[in-house]
Amino acid sequence: MMLYRPFENKLNVLLSEHGMQRAQWTILYYLYHFGSATLVELAHYQGVEKPTVTRTVNRLEELAYIEQVPSKDKREKRIMLTQLGKKVYVETRVPIDEFEAEILKGITEHEQLDAIRIMEEIRNNIMK
């Protein structure tokens, strides 16, 4: 139940040491791996409400990490990473990977995959 909280807190600290915030990082992560997204898509991915995404996206735009891409549907705002955004993602990835390696010490790859699979099942149950 409360197992994950320390992980979350440490990650926040780690990210802010690199001038990044978790909510921002989550979106960079999504865009890096999925190319582009609308705000609703991001809200669903993060499991938060739309205004929350608007805020984070605004900050990312000010930082010039993302830019808008044209879309047929004039309602939606589709965004993608800029060159700078990609650069920042890749650079921030390094300490994140180190952190992950550290906290996964002593846990076999098989166990890791098991845990991730189960967590994903839980996630699916939550999201539906």
Partner DNA sequence: GGAAAATAGTTACCTAGGGTAACAGTTATC
Partner DNA sequence: GATAACTGTTACCCTAGGTAACTATTTTCC
Under the binding rule (CB under 7 A), the answer on residue 74 touching DNA is yes
Closest residue by Cα to residue 58 from 13, 108, 23? 23
Tokens of 72: 């047929």
Interface with a second copy (CB under 8 A), residue from 36, 46, 63, 80 = 46
Under the binding rule (CB under 7 A), the answer on residue 83 touching DNA is no
Contacted by 118, from a second copy, DNA, none: CB < 5 to 8 Å by type: a second copy
- At a CB cut-off of 8 Å and minimum separation 6, what does 106 contact? none
Q: Which amino acid is at 110?
A: H
Q: Within 13 A of 66's CA, how many CA atoms are on the CB side?
A: 26
* Cβ proximity to DNA, 109 vs 126, nearer residue: 126
Kindly calculate the radius of gyration of the chain based on its CA atoms and give it in whole angstroms: 16
Interface with DNA (CB under 7 A), residue from 29, 30, 45, 52 = 52
DSSP 16-37: HHTT--HHHHHHHHHHHHHSEE
Dist. CA 36–CA 125, nearest whole Å: 25
* Cβ proximity to DNA, 76 vs 100, nearer residue: 76
- In the complex, minimum distance from the CB of residue 72 to a second copy, in angstroms, rounded to a whole number: 29
- In the complex, minimum distance from the CB of residue 69 to a second copy, in angstroms, rounded to a whole number: 23
* Cβ proximity to DNA, 56 vs 92, nearer residue: 56
Binding residues for a second copy, per CB under 8 A? 1-10, 26, 29, 45-48, 100, 102-107, 111-112, 114-116, 118-123, 125-127
